[in-house]
Amino acid sequence: MASLIENGDNPGMIQLFNVGKTYSREQAALADINLQIEKGEFVYLTGPSGAGKSTLLKLICCAERPSRGQILMDGRNITRLGTRYIPYLRRNLGIVFQDFKLLNRRTVFENVAFPLEVQGRRRIEIGKKVYQCLQQVGLEHRLHHYPLQLSGGEQQRVAVARALVGDPLVLLADEPTGNLDPDVTLDIMEQFKAANARGTTIIMATHDRGLIWQFPRRVITLEGGRLVGDHVP
């Protein structure tokens, strides 16, 4: 099966084959998930709390290992990827969390520059790229501020800039608008749409039906750890 998977004729950006994840014997966090997400797609992951949306995102970014099944990213099997290769995989990913996860002791500029520093990019290149990215999210005038000096919406825009600064192949967003008011939510969605238009595959976990209705894209629905729906509205 592994050879079949790795030599697929038209591999999607992300493919899941019979993926399951169990933390305890009683209940599986994810069970038997089969899924293909194409390059450049924008996908919502939806479902009630505890449906397994965050677990699925964690499996894709290798923060957790699946208990069974295989996951492929850009044709490469990442299921048993060695620990030392995981950082290099993550450099192709941008991740946005509901609680931003910004470094409060670092300025906006330093937060956004961080993924590029990690990749060992040159300072001059970092400066240019970070400024461009902050311009895109409309925060270039706030680059010397610290996260706690910003509003929630501004902090999430910084988080989006940080996720996009490395031109990732895939952007994973876990309830990115969960704590934001409607105006800021629209703003963040516009940022995602723009990134998607530039070719980034986007997987966004949300249970905001209004948002899905407003920005219709493919919707994958999970319930009790199982895939119960996959449709384009």
Partner 1 sequence: MIRQTGYFLHRALRNMRHSPVLSLAAIFTVGVALALLAFFAIAVLNVQRLTASWAADLAIVAYLEQPPDGATLNRWVSEIRAYPEVAEVTYVSREEAHQRFRQRLGHDAELLDGLGAEVLPASLEIRLHPERRQETAVVVERLSRNRAFGELHYAREWLERFEAFLLLLRTVGAALGGFLVMAALVIVANTIKLTLYARQDELEAMTMVGATALFIKLPYLLEGALQGLIGGALALLVSFTVYQIILRESLGNLLLLTGIDTIHFLPPAWQALVVAVGTLIGLVGSLLALRKFVRFCQ
Interface of this chain with partner 1, residues 98 to 127, rule: CB under 8 A = 101-105, 114-115, 117-120, 123
Tell me which stretch binds partner 1 (CB under 8 A): 25-33, 78-86, 129-137, 218-226.
78-86
From 175, 207, 211, select the one nearest 101 (Cα to Cα): 175
Long-range pairs of 2-8 with CB within 8 A, sequence gap ≥ 24: 2/70, 2/77, 5/70, 5/72, 5/77, 6/72, 6/75, 6/76, 6/77, 8/72, 8/75
Q: How far is the CB of 57 from partner 1 (least distance, A)?
A: 11
Distance CA 184, CA 231 (A): 27
169 to 188, contacts with partner 1 by CB under 8 A? none
Q: How far apart are CA 175 and CA 173, in angstroms?
A: 6
Question: What number of chain residues touch partner 1 (CB under 8 A)?
Answer: 26
- Which residues inside 35-74 make contact with partner 1, applying CB under 8 A? 61, 63
Does position 88 bind partner 1 by CB under 8 A? yes
Site stretch for partner 1 (CB under 8 A), options 39-47, 86-94, 182-190, 195-203: 86-94
Of residues 11, 47, 66, 166, which one binds partner 1 by CB under 8 A? 166
Sole binder of partner 1 in the list 162, 169, 191, 204 (CB under 8 A):
162
Residue 44, SS3 per DSSP? strand
Count CB atoms within 10 A of the CB of residue 122.
9
- Burial (CB count within 10 angstroms: exposed 0-12, middle 13-18, buried 19+), residue 82: exposed
Stretch that binds partner 1, among 34-42, 80-88, 203-211, 216-224 (CB under 8 A): 80-88
Provide the minimum distance between the beta carbon of 205 and partner 1 in the complex, in angstroms, as a whole number: 15
What contacts 63, CB < 8 A, 6 or more positions away?
Answer: none
Q: Enumerate binding residues for partner 1 (CB under 8 A).
A: 61, 63, 83-84, 86-91, 93, 95, 101-105, 114-115, 117-120, 123, 162, 166
